[in-house]
Structure 1
Amino acid sequence: MRIAIGGMAIESSQFCPHRSTYDDFRVTRGAALLDRYTWTRPDSGLADQVEWVPLVHAVALPGGPVERETYDRIKSELIARIREAGPLDGMVYDIHGAMSVVGLDDAEADLTDAVRDALGPDVLLSAAMDLHGNVSRRFADRLDLLTAHRLAPHEDAWETRERAARKLVERLASGKGRPYRAWVQVPVLLPGEKTSTRLEPAKSLYGRLASVEALDGIVDAAVWVGYAWADEARCRAAVVVTGDDPGLALEQARGLAQEYWDVRRDFVFVGPTGDADACIAHAVASRARPFLISDSGDNPTAGGAGDLAYMLRRLLADEDLASGRVTALHPGITDPAAVAACFDAGVGARVTLKVGGHVSAGTGPHAEPYELTGTVTALEDPAAPAAGAPRGNPAYDGGGRTAAVTRGGVTAVLTERRKPFHTRADFGTLDPTAYDVVVVKIGYLEPELYALAADWLLALTPGGVDQDLPRLGHHRVVRPLYPFDDAGFEDPDLTAVLL
Structure 2
Amino acid sequence: MARIGILGFLHETNTFAPGPTTLDRFIEADAWPGLVEGPALLDATHAMNLAVSGFMAALRGTGHTLVPLLWCSANPSGPVADAAFETVVARIEDLLCQAGPLDALFLDLHGSMVTESLDDAEGELLRRLRAITGPAMPYVAALDFHAIITQAMVDQTQAMVAYHSYPHVDMADTGARAARMMQRLLAGEVFHAAWKKLDFLVSMPWQSTLGQEPAGRIMARARTLEAPDRPEVQFIPGFPNSDTPESGPAILAYARTPDLAQAGVQALAADVTGLQQAFSGTLHTPDEALQIVRTQAARRTILADTQDNPGGGGSGDTTGMLQALLDHRLQNAAVALLCDAPFSLAAHQAGVGTTIRHPLGGRNTPGGPPVEGDFEVLALGDGKFTGTGPFYQGCRMDLGPMARVRICGVDVLISSRKQQAADQAMFHHLGANPQDYSILVLKSSVHFRADFGALADRILVVKAPGANTADLHELRYTRLRPGVTIL
- TM-score, normalised on structure 1? 0.87
After TM superposition, the structure 1 = structure 2 runs for residues 270-281 of structure 1, keeping only pairs within 5 Å, are: 273-281=283-291
Supply the distance in 1 between the matched residues of 2:308 and 2:163 (Cα, whole angstroms): 23
Tell me the CA shift for residue 46 of structure 1.
5.4
Structure 2 counterpart SS, 1:397: strand
Q: 1:60 aligns with which of 74, 85, 108?
A: 74
- Tell me the equivalent position of 1:247: 259
Within 1, Cα distance between the matches of 2:56 and 2:315?
Answer: 35
Tell me which residue corresponds to 1:430. Answer: 432
The runs of 4+ residues in structure 1 deviating greater than 3 Å are 38-41, 284-287, 389-396
In the alignment, structure 1 residue 443 sits paired with structure 2 residue 453: no
The one of 445, 452, 457 equivalent to 2:455 is 452
> Could you tell me how far 1:421 is from its partner in structure 2?
2.0
Aligned pairs (5 A) from 1:128-207:
128-173=142-187, 175-177=188-190, 179-198=191-210, 199-207=212-220
Please tell me the root mean square deviation across aligned C-alpha atoms, in Å. 2.3
Cα distance in 2 between the residues matched to 1:48 and 1:413: 44
Cα drift, residue 396 of structure 1: 6.9
Aligned match for 1:232, one of 241, 244, 249: 244
The answer as to whether partners of 1:348 and 1:375 remain within 8 angstroms in 2 is no
Whole-angstrom CA distance in 2 between matches of 1:390 and 1:333: 18
Query: Once the two structures are superposed, what CA deviation does each residue of 1:175-232 show, in whole Å capped at 9, x if it has no partner?
Result: 134x211121010111232122232322221112233221x53232222101111111
Q: Which runs of 5+ in 2 are unaligned?
A: 27-33, 46-52
Residue of structure 1 equivalent to 2:113: 99
Q: CA deviation at 1:456?
A: 1.7
* Aligned equivalents of 1:168, 1:455: Cα separation in 2: 43
Deviations 1:315-367 (A, max 9, x none): 1111x32xxxx321112221212222222333333333222232x23x4xxx2
Matches of 1:285 and 1:408 in 2, distance apart?
21
Shift of 1:295: 0.3
Given that 1:276 and 1:461 are in contact with CA atoms closer than 8 Å, whether structure 2 keeps it comes out as yes
The answer to whether the Cα contact below 8 Å between 1:16 and 1:463 also exists between their aligned partners in 2 is: no
CA distance in 1, matches of 2:483, 2:387: 49
Indicate the SS of the match to 2:349. Answer: helix
When residues 28 and 218 of structure 1 are mapped into structure 2, their CA distance, relative to the original with a 3 A threshold, is: same
Assess, with a 3 A threshold, how the Cα gap between structure 1 residues 384 and 94 changes in structure 2: closer, same or farther: closer
Paired letter, 1:449: F
How far did 1:130 drift?
Answer: 1.0
**Which whole-Å deviations, capped at 9, do the CAs of 1:267-326 have from their partners, x for residues lacking one?**
233xx64211111222244432332110000001122111211111211111x32xxxx3
**Matches of 2:203 and 2:395, distance apart in 1:** 22
Contact 2:340 2:415 in 1 (8 A): yes
Query: Could you report, residue by residue, the CA deviation over 1:20-43 in whole angstroms, capped at 9, with x for unpaired residues?
Result: 3333231233334234325535xx
Aligned-partner Cα distance in 2 for 1:306–1:108: 26
Q: Classify the secondary structure of the residue corresponding to 2:225.
A: helix
Contact 1:391 1:426 in 2 (8 A): no
Moved more, 85-94 or 348-357: 348-357
Aligned partner of 2:419 in structure 1 is 419
AA aligned opposite 1:440: L
Question: Who is 2:276 aligned against?
Answer: 264
Q: What is the aligned partner in structure 1 of residue 103 from structure 2?
A: 89
In 2, Cα distance between equivalents of 1:390 and 1:237 = 30
TM-score normalised according to structure 2 size: 0.89
What is the deviation of 1:473? Answer: 1.5
Once residues 457 and 390 of structure 1 are traced to their aligned partners in structure 2, the CA distance between those partners, rounded to angstroms, is 25
Find the counterpart in structure 2 of residue 31 from structure 1. 39
Q: Aligned pair in 2 of structure 1 residues 28, 356: CA closer, same or farther (>3 Å)?
A: same
Alignment length, in residue pairs?
464
Distance 1:396 1:96, change over 3 A: farther
Identify the residue that residue 226 of structure 2 maps to in structure 1. Answer: 213
1:140 to 1:70, Cα distance in 2 relative to 1, 3 A: same
Identity, % of aligned positions: 27
Distance 1:381 1:477 in 2: 44
Whether 1:294 and 2:299 are equivalent positions in the alignment is no
Q: Give secondary structure in 1 for the equivalent of 2:288.
A: helix
Equivalent position of 2:138 in the other structure: 124
Residues 187 and 480 in structure 1, CA contact (< 8 A), matched pair in contact too: yes
**Per the alignment, do residues 458 and 481 of structure 1 end up closer, same or farther by CA in structure 2, a change over 3 Å counting?**
same
Q: In the aligned structure 1, how far is the partner of 2:236 from the partner of 2:195?
A: 11
Distance 1:167 1:104 in 2: 29
2:11 corresponds to:
10
Question: Structure 2: how far apart are the matches of 1:3 and 1:188?
Answer: 37
User: Per the alignment, do residues 461 and 480 of structure 1 end up closer, same or farther by CA in structure 2, a change over 3 Å counting?
Assistant: farther
* Separation (CA, whole Å) in 2 of partners of 1:457 and 1:19: 32
Q: Which residue of 1 aligns with 2:48?
A: none
In 2, Cα distance between equivalents of 1:379 and 1:474:
43
Query: Can you list the C-alpha shifts for 1:411-445, whole angstroms capped at 9, x where unaligned?
Result: 22222111222121111212222222110101123
SS of equivalent to 2:126: helix
Q: Please give the alpha-carbon distance, in whole angstroms, between the structure 1 residues aligned to 2:232 and 2:413.
A: 44
Provide the C-alpha distance between the structure 2 equivalents of 1:395 and 1:477, rounded to a whole number of angstroms.
36
- 1:5 partner letter: I
Q: 2:56 aligns with which of 40, 51, 66?
A: 40
2:332 equivalent among 327, 331, 350:
327
Equivalent position of 2:355 in the other structure:
350
Mapped to 2, the partners of 1:414 and 1:313 lie a distance apart of: 15
Maintained 8 Å contact 1:350/1:373: no
**How far is the alpha carbon of 1:246 from its aligned partner?**
0.8
Q: SS at 1:307's partner residue?
A: coil
Distance of aligned partners of 1:334 and 1:31 in 2 relative to their CA distance in 1, 3 Å threshold: same
Residue by residue over 1:358-401, the C-alpha shift from the partner in whole angstroms, topping out at 9 and shown as x without a partner, is 2x23x4xxx2222321223224232688xxx9989554722111
